[in-house]
Chain A
Amino acid sequence: MPPRVRDRIDSFPTHTIGGYGVRPGRVTTIGATLVPNGVNFAVFSARATAVSVVLFRIGETEPMAEIPIPEDFRIGRVWAITVFGLEYEEVEYGYRVDGPNEHGWDKFDPTKVLSDPYAKILGGRELWGKVPDYNNVYQHRARLAFDDFDWEGDRPLRTPTSELVVYETHVRGFTRHPSSGVRNPGTYAGLVEKIPYLKQLGVTCVELLPVFEFDEFGNSRLDTETGERLLNYWGYNTVGFFAPKAGYAATGRFGMQGDEFKNLVKTLHAAGIEIMLDVVFNHTAEGNEMGPTISFRGLDNSTYYMLTPEGYYYNFSGTGNTFNSNNPVVRDFIVSCLRYWAAEYHIDGFRFDLAAIMDRDENGVPLANPPLIEALAHDPVLRDCKLVAEAWDAGGLYQVGSFPNYHRWSEWNGRYRDTLRKFLKGEDAVAGDLATRIAGSPDLYWARGAQASINFVTCHDGFSLMDVFSYNEKHNEANGENNNDGANDNNSWNCGAEGPTEDPEIERLRIQQVKNALLILLTSRGVPMMLSGDEVGRTQRGNNNVYCQDNELAWFDWSLTESNSELLEFASHVIALRKQHPVLRAMHHPNSIDPTNCGHPEISWHGVQPWQPDWSPDSHLLGVMWCGHHIDGGGPDFLYIGANAHWEAHEVYLPVLDDGWVWCLAADTAGEAPGAYPPGTERPLTDPHSYLISPRSVIALVARPVSG
C-alpha cells in the first residue's frame, strides 16, 4: 500500500536497495518489528563488517531478495534497516554476516544464511518428525509475528506459591498416544482438550518441557533394534528462544503456532491453572565445533558462547557448548526473551534447566553475585513470575540450597527426591532427614522459607514413579548408548522382581509405594511437583532417560486412567487433602514450639509412642502431627501423617487431641482401594487411640469434631 499524506514521516523510505524502499532502522528494538508500512530489522554483532537481510518467500530455497545494510545505517554495533513493501505473511528472512576470522574466536561465514535469534516465529520444522530438506540452505526460517490474538481479558494468574501443585508434562507426549482420544494428538490443541482432566486431578500449575523451537532431528543416534533414527523428543536443544515449537501445533502448517499456544495458555488460565515453562539458556542447538551454524555462531561467536583461550567451546552443559549468559549482551538477550514470554504469552513462571551455569562468568568461574540471576530476580516485567532453578550443571557445580536467590528464586530440591526415595525403599538412617524434608528443608532454605523448595520424587529426568519401585537398575538400551546414558544413582527398589511381574503381591506393593510417595509429597511443606503420568502408574520400562524416545515408552498412555483408576483417584484425593488444610501449604518453616499456647506446636514428631520419635539409624517409622492453630486461617486443624517404611507392621499410639475431637482416617495406602477418602468423608477410627500401620505404608489422619 503506498504511503498516504497523513502517514508518519518515518513511514517513508529514504533509499532504494535491491528494489525495496528502505530507510535507516531503529537500533533499540533488536529483531524484526512491524512498523508503519514496513519491517524494522535490527541485529547485533560485535565484530561483523557486513550484514545483509536475506528475504525468501515462505518455504522457497532461493532468496527473492538480499538487502545489504549500508554501513552508515549501523549505530554502535547494531545494524538496522527498515524495509518497506513486504508481504508480511508471505516472507521469511535471515541474515548474511561477514567479518574477520583473525583468531579462533570468530566464526563468520558469509556462505550461510543465519536465523534471527530474536525471531518470534520459525518455519522449517512445521510438522513434527518430517525429515527436513537438508539441501535447503536456510533451515530455521525466521518469520514475522503478529500481535492480534484475542486474549479476552486473560492475565497471568499470580497464584500464590502456597497454592501451587505443579504437574510436569511434555506437550507432545501428553496426548500423542493413540489412547488420548483428542482430535490433534501431540499438540497444544490436544493439551487443551485434556485440561478438564488436569482440573479434576486438582493440579494448579502445568510445567511444560521445552516449547521453544528446537530441532527434533538434532540427535544422530539410531534405535538399536529398528535402526530408525532417534529424535530429540524432550527438546533441550533450543534453536529459537522467542519462537514456540511449530511441530507442537496443529496449526504449525499455517504458521499459527503462536496463536495456538496462546489459546492453550488462555484456556489453562480460565481453568485456574498456571503455566510454567522449562527454559534452556545453558546451551544452544549449535553444539560444539562440529555442530551446525544456525544463528549465534555466525553472528557473534565469542559474545554468545563461553570459549577457552584456544577458542574451543566450554562444555558445562554436557551438550557441546555453553551459553555465555553473564556477558551483558547475552544477559540482555535472556532478559528480553523472558519478558517477551511473560508479556506476550502470559506465562506464569519459568524453570531454568541447569541453572547453575547461569552463575558462571565467561571463563566458567562461579560468581557470588551473578548479574543475570540478580537481573531476573529484580526485573519489573518478571516480578510476578515464578523463577525456579535446577541448581546444578553438568560441570559439577551443585547449588541446591545455595543457589544465589535474592529471595526470589526457588529450586528443584534434589535432596527431597533422594531422601524420600531412600526412606521408602527402606534404607537405614533416613528418618531424621525425612523429617527435615517434610518440614520444608529448613537446613537448605532457612532464610528463604519453604517456598524455595520445589519438592519432587520424580521428574522427566529419571525413572517414572512406578519405575522407581519396579527397577533396581536403569534399562536404557533403546537409547543406543549401550546403557551408558542416564543416571546410575536412582535410589530405586524393584520390590522383588526386576520389571514386569505376574506376582500379585509385588504388583500390589508397587502400587502402595507409589501411593506412599504421593501422600508424603502432598503433605510436605514446600511446593509439590509431580511428573505427568505418575498419578496413573505410567512406566518407561526401566528407561530413566527417555529424551530420544518419541514413542510409547515416553507417551502418556490414557488407558491407564481406567486400568489404574485406583491410583488416579488416590492422587486426586490427596491433592484435595492438601488443599483442604492450610497448615500443609504454609510457606514458612514450622516451629516445634507452641508460641500461642494452644497446647500443640505447629509440627511435632512421633514414633510408636506419641511424642517419642525414633531418630535411631534403625528407625523406619516417622509420625508427624501438624497443628493449624499457628497458621492464618488454619484454625483448629490437626493432621497426623504416619509413614512406615519398615517391612513389618507397627501399632502406633496417637497424640491425644483436645476434648471433643477424634482422629479420622483420610488415607491409608495399604487400605481398601483407592486408599484415600475425599475431604469430608474421612472415616472414624475403630480404636481412637491407636492405629496399626501396615508394612511399607503411609496413613493420613485428620481431626474431626465428635459428632452428636
Chain B
Amino acid sequence: MSFTASLSTTGSTAVITLAGSLDDNPSAEEFREKVAAAANEGISRLVLEMSQLETLSAAGLRGLAFCKEKMPNGVDIVFVAPTDKVRLAIEDVGFQQSVTISDQFTL
C-alpha cells in the first residue's frame, strides 16, 4: 500500500496520521516534510497516529528519529496505536525511550 501522511493542528497539538508503508526514501521524505511543517506551528505536542501504518523500513525508522531531532526541547512526542510489527521495530532500536507510545490520544 502506498504511503500517505496528513497533518492537522488543533491548539498546541499537531497530529500526523500515517498510513501504508513508510519504507523508502520518497515516503520518508514526505513524512519529514510533515514533521518539519509541524515543528513550525509552535506546538507542545506531536502525535503520530499509526494505526494504519503497515510497515517501517530503515528510512521510516530514521524518519521517526527525525521527529525527535526536529522538535524543540519540551515538545512531547506520542506514537499512537502502532501495530505490533511497527511497535517491535521501534523498540528494537530503542526509540520508545525517547517518546511515549500510547493506544489512544485525546486532544
Name A's B-contacting residues (CB within 8 A).
87-90, 146, 148-150, 152, 183-184, 187, 189, 192, 249-251, 254-256, 259-260, 262-263, 266-267
Contact = CB atoms under 8 A, between A and B. Distances in A.
B58 A150 contact: no
A410 to B, nearest CB: 31
Contacts of A267: 94, 97
A-B residue pairs, 3 tightest by C-beta: A263-B94, A254-B58, A259-B93
Given A89-B58, A259-B61, A150 B68 contact: yes
B61 A256 contact: yes
A350 to B, nearest CB: 23
Interface residues of B, number: 22
B78 to A, nearest CB: 16
Interface string B16-40: 0000000011001000000000000
Given A251-B89, A254-B57, A254-B89, A148 B94 contact: no
Interface in B18-74: 24-25, 28, 56-59, 61-62, 65-66, 68-69
A269 to B, nearest CB: 12
Nearest to A184: B92
B86 to A, nearest CB: 12
Given A146-B62, A254-B57, A152 B92 contact: no
B98 A152 contact: yes
Contact of B58 (A149, A183, A256): A256
B46 to A, nearest CB: 14
A89 B92 contact: no
A89 B98 CA distance: 23
Given A149-B65, A260-B92, 6 more contacts: A89-B62, A148-B66, A254-B56, A260-B94, A263-B93, A266-B94
19 contacts: A87-B25, A89-B62, A90-B25, A150-B69, A150-B98, A184-B92, A189-B91, A249-B92, A251-B61, A254-B56, A254-B61, A254-B89, A255-B58, A256-B61, A256-B93, A259-B65, A259-B94, A263-B97, A266-B94
Given A148-B62, A149-B65, A150-B69, A251 B93 contact: yes
Contacts of B61: 251, 254, 256, 259
A152 B95 CA distance: 11
Contact of A189 (B56, B62, B65, B92): B92
Contacts of A90: 24-25, 59
A187 to B, nearest CB: 8
Contact of A251 (B25, B68, B92): B92
A192 B94 contact: yes
Nearest to B26: A87
Interface of B: 24-25, 28, 56-59, 61-62, 65-66, 68-69, 88-89, 91-95, 97-98
Interface SS, B side: helix
Contacts of B68: 150
A539 B26 CA distance: 52
Given A89-B58, A89-B59, A89-B62, A148 B92 contact: no
A148 B58 contact: no
B65 A148 contact: yes
A150 B57 contact: no
A259 B25 CA distance: 18
Contacts of A149: 65
A150 B93 CA distance: 10
A255 B24 CA distance: 13
Nearest to A87: B25
A255 B57 CA distance: 9
A256 B94 contact: no
A200 B11 CA distance: 46
Given A89-B28, A183-B88, A254-B89, A148 B69 contact: yes
Nearest to A146: B62
A189 B28 CA distance: 24
Contacts of A249: 92
Contacts of B65: 148-150, 259
A466 B61 CA distance: 44
Contacts of A183: 88
B98 A256 contact: no
A394 B24 CA distance: 48
A152 B65 CA distance: 12
Contacts of A260: 92-94
* Max chain A Cβ within 10 angstroms of own Cβ: one of B24, B62, B69, B98: B62
A89 B94 contact: no
Contacts of A259: 61, 65, 93-94
Contacts of B58: 89, 251, 254-256
Contacts of B94: 192, 259-260, 262-263, 266-267
A629 to B, nearest CB: 45
* Max chain A Cβ within 10 angstroms of own Cβ: one of B57, B66, B68, B92: B92
B55 to A, nearest CB: 10
Nearest to A266: B94
Contacts of B25: 87-90
Contacts of A255: 58
A112 B9 CA distance: 54
Contacts of B57: 254
A262 B58 CA distance: 15
A612 to B, nearest CB: 58
Nearest to A149: B65
A250 B89 CA distance: 9
Contacts of A189: 91-92
A256 to B, nearest CB: 5
Contacts of B56: 254
Contacts of A150: 65, 68-69, 95, 98
